[in-house]
C-alpha cells in the first residue's frame, strides 16, 4: 500500500488502484493515441501506465492510428471548452477525450480513471466538463522550518530546516491534487515568519524547479510574501506602498523573481492582520498596497491575491460597540472597484474565522467590481483538528448555495466566485489545506474526504456532498455497499454532530486560546480578539441587528430581514445575530438552554454511533486505515464528552436552569 520514499513512506489516497483483472472497462485501455507532446503529455502517459498496470495488470501501449486506438487523447479547438474543460465521448470500443489544452486532456484522463475506480455508469454518457471556478486553489500554511501553522498531519513536505524540498513526494502531491482539478497552490504560510528569504536569489532556483514540477500537472505556484519585504530583506526603512524607493525595490525584485521563476503565479498577501505589516502603517489603503504590487507584477502576468482578513485584534472586551464581524466589509467595501484587474481579494466564508457555524460574509455580493476568491479551511482548526471527523463539504455546499440577492439571476455565492455574476475571470475558491507529511497525508484518514471533496466541489459546485462522499469512499476504500453506507453515514453527519457538542447556535469561539482545541467557554471572553458570547445569568448572544452592532445591515435587504427578524433567523445562527434569554423558545420548540443540553448529549451519542458503526468495517477495509480511524474515533468520543460536560456545566452554573430530562450536569 505504501511507496517507500527517501523522506518517509506515504500512501496514494484516492489514487490507490486495486487490481481488478476482470474489469469490463479494460477494453478502453488497450492502447492510447495522443496528438500532442510536452510535460503534461508525458505525465498523462505516465498516469495511464501506472493505472493500467496496477488496475488491470498489464502495460498500456501507444498507438499511432486513431482508428485502432481505444483511448484517443486529442488537442482540438473548441471555444465551448475553455482553457481547462474537456469533451468526453465514447463508442463501443473507443473513448475520446478532447480539449483545447493539454491540461484539459489530463483532467479527462483522471476523470475516466475515477469513473473506472468508482465502477461508475457515467461511462455511458457523452458530455463536456468545464470547471465552474477559474481558480481552484490550495493554501499551505507551511513555514520554512518545516512546521505547519494549524497543521494536524505532521510536518511540511515542501520545507525542512529552512530549505525547499524537491522529491518524489512533491511529484506525487502534484498528481494527486491535479487528479481532482486543483490548478493553483500557495506553498508557504500567509504569516511570513521565516520565509522572507524565499524571494532572494538563493532560493529562486529551487522555487523554479518546484514551479516546473507543478506546471507539468497544470498547477500554478504562488508564494506568500511579506508586505514588509523592502525593510526585512531590502534594508529600506519603510514599506510605504507610495514611497518611490519602495516601489523601485519591488519592481527590481519582481524582475529578479520572474527572471528566475518565469512561471510563478504571483503573491498571496496577508497585510495589516493579526500583527502582520501592511499599508495601514503608512496611512495608505489596502488598494494602495495591493495595486502597487499588482503594478510591479503585471508585466509578468502575475497576480496579487490579497486577504480580507483584517480586523482589530486589540479590542477591549469591555467595548461592546466594536464588532469584529463588521470589519471585513467595513474595510473593503469602500474600496470596491479600486483594485487593479490582476488583484484578487481572498474572502473567508464567514465574517469571523472558520467557526463551525457562521453566516456567509456580506462581502460576497457586497463587492460588485472586484475580483473575489472564497476562502474556506479544510485544515480543521476549529472543527476538531483532524482528531475529530468533520466532513466539511455540507458546510461548503450551504455557503455556495447562499443567495446574497446581489443579482436576481446569479445571486448565489457560487455564481459570484465562478465569475458569472459580475463577469469576471480572476475568481474562484481556495482552501487552507489539511495535508502534511503523515503517511496518510491528512492525519485522520477521513479528513482525506475534505481534501478530495473541496477540489471536486471547486470544479463542479453542483455536486452534492453525498455524491462526493461516495466517490471518495469507493476510490479510497472500496466499492462494498456496506463500506459506502457506513462511511458516508459517518461523513454526512459528522459536521452536524461536531456542531452539536460545540459552541451553541452560531455563537462560536468557546475554545482554548492559541491552540483552538478543546472547550473553554470563557477562553476568549475577556481577551482582545473580538470574539465574545457575553453570557450572563439571563442570556447569551450578540445583537448584531440595527439595534445592536448593525452587522446585519451589511447584507442585502432580504438577508438583512431574514437575519434580523428573530422569527426568520435560522435557529443555528440565532445567537450569532441575537442576544436571547435562556428561556427563549427556538423554532425547534425547545428553549435555548434545553437546546444546549439536548444537543450536547445528542452530539456525544452521535459519536458513539460513529464508533459503533465503524467497528463493523473491521473485515471490510484495510487494517491500517481501520485502526487509525478507530483510534481517532475513540479519542473523539472522550473529547466530545469533555465538550458536552464543560459547555453544559458552564450554562447550568450560569443559568441555574435544570435539564428537563434530569440528566447529570456537573
3 state SS of 248: helix
CA distance 78 to 18: 35
Q: How far is the CB of 504 from a copy of itself (least distance, A)?
A: 16
Q: What angle do CA 56, 61, 67 make, to 5 degrees?
A: 110
Q: How far is the CB of 662 from a copy of itself (least distance, A)?
A: 17
Q: Judged by CB, which is closer to a copy of itself: 30, or 649? A: 649
Q: Judged by CB, which is closer to a copy of itself: 21, or 318? A: 318
- Provide the Cα torsion 179, 180, 184, 188; round to 10°: -90
Identify whether 274 is a catalytic site residue: yes
CA distance 281 to 378: 32
Cell numbers placing 539: 442570556
Which helix (H) or strand (E) segment holds residue 575: the answer is helix 574-577
Is the alpha carbon torsion for 599, 601, 516, 636 positive or negative?
negative
Identify whether 194 is a catalytic site residue: no
Is-contact 546 553, C-beta < 8 A? yes
Q: Judged by CB, which is closer to a copy of itself: 9, or 656? A: 656
Q: Judged by CB, which is closer to a copy of itself: 286, or 639? A: 639
Rounded to 5, what percent of the chain is helix, strand, coil? Answer: 40, 10, 45
CA distance 553 to 562: 11
Which parts of 508-591 fold into alpha helices (H)? 557-564, 574-577
Q: Judged by CB, which is closer to a copy of itself: 197, or 534? A: 534
Q: Judged by CB, which is closer to a copy of itself: 145, or 520? A: 520
Query: Exactly one of 11, 142, 323, 353 is catalytic; which is it?
Result: 353
Q: How many CB atoms lie within 10 A of CB 67?
A: 8
Q: How far is the CB of 643 from a copy of itself (least distance, A)?
A: 10
Cell numbers placing 362: 456580506
Q: How far is the CB of 654 from a copy of itself (least distance, A)?
A: 6
Q: How far is the CB of 649 from a copy of itself (least distance, A)?
A: 8
* Site residues for a copy of itself per CB under 8 A: 317-318, 519-522, 526, 534-538, 645-646, 649-650, 652-656, 666
Identify whether 642 is a catalytic site residue: no
Strands 343-348 and 372-377: parallel
Q: How far is the CB of 518 from a copy of itself (least distance, A)?
A: 9
CA distance 454 to 461: 10
Strand partners, 430: 137, 375
Q: Judged by CB, which is closer to a copy of itself: 526, or 635? A: 526
CA distance 457 to 646: 36
3 state SS of 229: helix
Query: Exactly one of 163, 201, 274, 401 is catalytic; which is it?
Result: 274
Query: Exactly one of 11, 47, 87, 381 is catalytic; which is it?
Result: 381
Burial of 547 (0-12, 13-18, 19+ CB in 10 A): exposed
Q: Judged by CB, which is closer to a copy of itself: 284, or 516? A: 516
Is-contact 443 517, C-beta < 8 A? no
Cell numbers placing 637: 468520543
Q: How far is the CB of 661 from a copy of itself (least distance, A)?
A: 19
Helix axes 465-476, 448-459, angle to 10 degrees: 130
Catalytic residue numbers? 274, 353, 381
Amino acid at each position: 500500500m505504501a511507496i517507500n520514499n527517501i523522506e518517509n513512506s506515504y500512501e496514494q489516497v484516492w489514487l490507490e488502484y486495486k487490481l481488478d483483472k476482470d474489469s469490463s472497462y479494460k477494453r478502453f485501455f488497450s492502447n492510447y493515441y495522443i496528438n500532442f507532446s510536452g510535460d503534461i503529455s508525458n505525465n498523462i502517459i505516465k498516469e495511464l501506465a501506472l493505472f493500467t498496470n496496477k488496475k488491470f495488470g498489464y502495460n498500456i501501449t501507444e498507438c499511432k492510428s486513431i482508428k485502432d486506438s481505444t483511448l484517443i487523447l486529442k488537442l482540438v479547438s473548441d471555444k465551448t471548452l475553455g482553457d481547462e474543460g474537456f469533451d468526453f465521448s465514447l463508442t463501443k470500443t473507443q473513448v475520446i477525450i478532447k480539449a483545447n489544452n493539454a491540461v484539459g486532456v489530463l483532467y479527462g484522463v483522471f476523470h475516466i480513471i475515477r469513473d473506472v475506480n468508482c465502477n461508475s455508469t457515467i461511462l455511458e454518457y457523452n458530455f463536456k466538463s468545464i470547471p465552474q471556478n477559474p481558480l481552484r486553489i490550495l493554501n499551505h500554511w507551511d513555514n520554512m522550518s518545516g512546521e505547519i501553522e494549524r497543521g494536524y498531519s505532521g510536518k511540511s513536505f515542501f520545507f525542512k530546516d529552512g530549505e525547499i524540498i524537491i522529491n518524489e513526494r512533491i511529484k506525487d502531491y502534484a498528481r494527486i491534487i491535479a487528479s481532482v482539478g486543483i490548478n493553483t497552490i500557495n506553498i508557504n504560510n500567509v504569516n511570513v515568519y521565516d520565509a522572507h528569504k524565499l524571494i532572494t536569489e538563493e532560493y529562486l532556483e529551487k522555487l523554479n524547479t518546484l514551479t516546473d514540477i507543478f506546471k507539468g500537472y497544470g498547477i500554478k505556484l504562488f508564494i506568500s510574501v511579506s508586505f514588509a519585504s523592502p525593510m526585512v530583506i531590502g534594508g529600506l526603512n519603510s514599506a510605504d506602498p507610495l514611497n518611490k524607493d519602495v516601489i523601485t525595490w519591488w519592481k527590481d525584485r519582481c524582475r529578479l523573481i520572474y527572471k528566475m521563476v518565469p512561471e510563478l503565479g504571483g503573491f498571496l498577501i496577508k497585510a495589516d492582520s493579526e500583527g502582520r505589516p501592511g499599508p495601514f502603517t503608512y496611512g495608505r489603503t489596502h488598494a494602495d498596497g495591493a495595486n502597487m504590487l499588482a503594478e510591479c507584477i503585471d508585466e509578468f502576468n502575475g497576480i496579487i491575491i490579497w486577504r480580507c482578513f483584517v480586523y482589530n485584534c486589540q479590542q477591549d472586551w469591555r467595548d461592546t460597540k466594536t464588532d469584529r464581524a463588521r470589519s471585513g466589509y467595513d474595510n473593503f467595501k469602500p474600496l470596491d472597484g479600486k483594485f487593479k484587474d490582476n488583484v484578487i481579494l481572498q474572502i473567508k466564508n464567514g465574517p469571523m474565522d472558520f467557526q463551525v457555524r457562521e453566516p456567509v460574509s456580506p462581502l460576497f455580493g457586497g463587492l460588485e467590481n472586484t475580483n473575489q476568491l472564497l476562502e474556506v479551511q479544510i485544515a480543521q482548526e476549529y472543527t476538531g483538528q483532524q482528531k475529530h471527523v468533520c466532513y466539511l463539504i455540507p458546510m461548503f455546499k450551504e455557503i455556495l448555495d447562499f443567495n446574497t440577492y446581489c443579482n436576481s439571476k446569479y445571486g448565489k455565492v457560487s455564481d459570484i466566485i465562478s465569475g458569472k455574476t459580475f463577469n469576471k475571470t480572476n475568481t474562484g475558491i481556495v482552501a487552507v489545506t489539511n495535508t502534511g507529511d503523515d503517511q496518510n497525508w491528512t492525519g485522520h484518514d477521513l479528513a482525506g474526504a475534505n481534501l478530495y471533496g473541496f477540489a471536486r466541489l471547486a470544479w463542479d459546485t453542483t455536486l452534492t456532498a453525498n455524491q462526493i462522499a461516495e466517490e471518495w469512499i469507493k476510490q479510497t476504500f472500496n466499492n462494498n455497499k456496506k463500506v459506502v453506507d457506513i462511511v458516508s453515514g459517518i461523513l454526512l453527519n459528522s459536521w452536524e454532530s461536531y456542531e452539536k457538542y460545540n459552541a451553541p447556535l452560531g455563537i462560536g469561539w468557546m475554545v482554548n486560546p492559541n491552540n483552538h482545541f478543546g472547550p473553554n467557554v470563557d477562553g476568549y471572553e475577556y481577551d482582545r480578539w473580538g470574539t465574545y458570547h457575553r453570557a450572563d445569568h439571563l442570556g447569551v448572544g450578540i445583537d448584531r441587528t440595527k439595534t445592536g452592532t448593525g452587522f446585519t445591515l451589511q447584507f442585502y435587504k432580504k438577508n438583512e430581514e431574514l437575519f434580523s427578524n428573530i422569527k426568520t433567523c435560522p435557529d443555528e445562527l440565532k445567537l450569532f445575530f441575537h442576544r436571547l434569554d435562556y428561556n427563549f423558545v427556538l423554532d425547534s420548540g425547545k428553549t435555548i438552554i434545553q437546546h444546549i443540553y439536548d444537543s450536547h448529549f445528542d452530539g456525544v451519542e452521535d459519536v458513539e454511533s460513529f464508533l459503533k458503526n465503524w467497528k463493523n468495517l473491521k473485515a471490510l477495509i484495510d487494517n491500517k486505515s481501520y485502526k487509525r480511524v478507530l483510534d481517532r474515533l475513540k479519542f473523539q468520543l472522550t473529547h466530545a464528552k469533555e465538550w458536552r460536560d464543560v459547555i453544559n456545566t458552564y450554562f447550568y452554573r450560569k443559568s441555574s436552569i435544570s435539564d428537563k430530562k434530569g440528566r447529570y450536569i456537573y
